Amino acid sequence: FAKKFNVPIHVRSSFSDQPGTMIVAEPESWDRPVCGAAMQKDEARVTVLGVPDRPGVAMTIFTKIAARNVATDMIVQNVGDEGLADLSFTVARDDLPATLKAVEEACRAVGAQGYNYDDNVSKISVVGLGMKTQPGVARRMFRALAQKGINLLMITTSEIKISVLVDRESAVEALRTVHEAFELDREPPQAPRPPAPAANGQRGNDTAALVARMQGMEDLLFEDISLDQSQARITLRGLPDRPGVAAQIFEEIAACGIVVDMIVQSVGRQGRASMSFTVPSDAFEKSMEVARRLSGRLDAAPPTGAARVAKLTIAGTGMRSHTGLARRLFQYLAGAGINIEMVNTSEVRLSVVVEGAQGERALELLKKEFADVIV
């Protein structure tokens, strides 16, 4: 609510004289790309293998999961290969038994090849507004973890957040590692600028009605559904599934001054993993050159890509606890015959990549279908 109306929030403790925290639109430091790190320790990962790469399949899987009131966290779907794709997601460890029953039903329903799972994983995340404009954030994070020998099992990103899945026994070390890598133990080198003045509603909404709708802190409310048609996609398949590979890839990308947006790494199979990422469209050719060099050095398959894709992003609250959100999104797009190439999630954002020519139609559809929860 405060973000929508550009109202600063000052959070302080009544038990100390500490100055507390200001929650404002500006970053804590204009020089630092990352302002925080976090760990979710008790996660479980499920991968549905060999999913037919066609509209409606993901909807079926998440409908089965939502019917058991299981909330998914990280969702990663990479670009399909030969008509098949792997779909991975995480749930709370306690929800794994119910999830596996739903996945068994879904595999039979959609004709998937099978599934596997790991109940000994944790999620490590870094967040910061500076990621939007500063290249090399992913590289720094991945290199720091690689130097500690920590393998990345899954990767998912948004504009201001990078999350990775690691073995649980490595989770605390991973959290400390990224904390040190981004110098989060030090005071910011620059004080924040004064917050912008409060603004009136952006869309002429009735403020009283908005307040009434936002009374439930975990109600599903979207502040925006956006379309980005300025990006291209690069996909690398058959990468060695070992520490340091992701760092090597994004070190070379960052060295070219290319800002990466979405990053999706699927869970490896037989020691090999696939990774896709998006870059500005005008950096497509340069990125493909780097990808070709990397695939040769890493003994991976030749890279593939698309010079123009459409990225749709839903941002809002209540997304983590509302089990049917992913199902609704996939259902609406599948009903329109729009296939999803990539899926990426965080607690307050869900992004999908579709074919570039489908972007406008997909945006119009989602705004119509989610009209009941847009503020």
Fold category of 41-120 in CATH: VC0802-like (3.30.2130)
Query: How far is it, in rounded angstroms, from Cα 183 to Cα 347?
Result: 24
pLDDT in tens, 123-172: 999 988 877 777 778 889 999 999 999 999 999 887 788 999 999 999 99
Q: Are 240 and 272 in contact (CB under 8 A)?
A: yes
Q: Is 222-370 the same fold as 41-120?
A: yes
| Pairing between β-strand 72-77 and β-strand 36-52 as defined by DSSP bridges | unpaired
Domain borders along the chain are 41-120, 222-370
Least confident of 10-14, 163-167, 219-223, 370-374: 219-223
Q: Are 138 and 261 in contact (CB under 8 A)?
A: no
Per-residue pLDDT, 193: 54
Q: Are 46 and 297 in contact (CB under 8 A)?
A: no
Residue 14, pLDDT above cutoff 80: yes
What dotted CATH number matches 222-370?
3.30.2130.10
Q: Are 200 and 6 in contact (CB under 8 A)?
A: no
pLDDT in tens, 178-205: 999 998 888 776 555 555 554 444 545 5
Q: What is the pTM of this model?
A: 0.79
Write the burial class of residue 191 (CB in 10 Å: 0-12 exposed, 13-18 middle, 19+ buried): exposed
Residue 335, pLDDT above cutoff 90: no
CA-to-CA dists, residue 224 to 88, 221, 371, angstroms? 25, 9, 11
